[in-house]
Structure formats: C-alpha cells, structure tokens
Amino acid sequence: MKRDKLYHGMWPMRVCMTAVILCGAPAWCLPNVELMLEQSPSDAGRVTPGIGVHRFMPNTQIEVTAIPQQGFQFAYWLGDVSDPTASTTSVHLNDSKAIVAVYEPIAPAPGDDEDLRRNGGVSGGGGGGGGLRPSYADFFAAAFSAPGGSLSTGQSVTYQVIASEPVPEPATLFLLGLGGLALARRRKRCSSL
C-alpha cells in the first residue's frame, strides 16, 4: 500500500489536529465549573462580575460585589458565599453554584413624609393597588429559599428543580461529524485496496 493513498484521505483529520495544536484544547475538553449570578429585584443595582453564567476552572476563588442603585440598599446574598451580609464577598468554586444579590428599598426617614406634606410636595390620594411587580429574579430568589418559598408580593410559589444535560457546542457537533466522515472515507478507501 502506498503512503500517498493512505494519507491522502486524511486531510480533514490533519486540519482538525492542526487546529487543536495551534489553538489549544477546545472548551469542551477543559474541566470547568459555572457560576450563575442574579439579583433581586432586577433593576435595583448591579453585580460584578455581571449577571449571567460565568465559567471558571475548578477550585477558583471569585470575588463578587453588589452595587445598589439610588433608592436601594444591599440586603444579603443567597447562595454559598463566605459572608452573606457583606456587599463584597468571595465564592469558592469547587462545584457549579448559583448566587443571588438581594436588594431592598431604602425606607424614608420618619420626618420626611411630614416635611413633604407641609411644603406641598404630596398631592391628593386615590387609586389602589401598587406594589412592585414580581420579576424573574423574584422567582429565582424564591427557588433558593425554603421549599414552598414566597415572593416579595406575599404569594406562595411551588417549584421543581429540573436537572439539565449539558448541550454540546455547535463546533463539537461539526468536529464529530467531520471525524465521522473522515473515518467513513478512510474505511471505504482501505476496503477498496
């Protein structure tokens, strides 16, 4: 069997191997843990390193900070953090974790309402209802409280934790398909010799 015939049909494999060597191991080969950051209410401030899912190497120590907007103050962290009452704390990522920063509105000082009324800052009443609408973050926070947790509106909520399987990246599927085609082509060529 000639060497040219054996290696001629393996160019897709050469391309894949060259890409792995030049670019390093693909993300799906590296072990990582995920940190999901959320906040409740969703517009009460911001969280660093940012809302969403972040991937890190296992056994990494990450610092998270909650920065409240005007009119809100930081209350506490939900999740496995080193100090749940400090606005800046750290998370040890030995496994994937979900962390929620909880904010609360700042209550006006007792004399503020009287000063507003006396100076004409408050107009007539009316209407009912009011209160904040529950947001996604409220439901998320309820999921991490005791079973049958409650929303900030006082409504009871039931939930079910559903474990999800990791979804392969599109590049993974492409490389697997390309490898399968190269293998099928190689078998076809080897059987015809």
pLDDT tens digits for 57-102?
Answer: 888 898 999 999 999 999 999 988 999 999 999 999 888 888 999 9
Helix H or strand E encompassing 48: strand 45-48
pLDDT value of position 69? 93
Contact in structure between 121 and 113 (CB atoms under 8 Å)? no
User: CATH 3.10.20 residue ranges in the chain?
Assistant: 31-107
Class assignment of domain 31-107? alpha beta
Q: Which of 63, 60, 71 is nearest to 99 (CA)?
A: 63
pLDDT value of position 83? 92
Determine phi and psi for 27, rounding to 5 degrees: -60, -30
**pLDDT band per the 50, 70, 90 thresholds, residue 149:** very low
* Single pTM value for the model: 0.45
Report d(CA 105, CA 147) in Å as an integer.
25
**CA dist 39 → 44, 47, 90, 104, 130 (Å):** 8, 7, 16, 11, 22
Quote the crossing angle between the two packed helices 170-192 and 11-23, to the nearest 10°.
140
Burial level of 77, CB count in 10 A (0-12/13-18/19+)? buried
pLDDT tens digits for 42-67?
Answer: 888 999 888 888 888 888 898 999 99
pLDDT value of position 169? 73
Report d(CA 97, CA 33) in Å as an integer.
8
Contact in structure between 27 and 170 (CB atoms under 8 Å)? no
Tokens of 5: 């015939």
Beta bridge partners of 38: 100
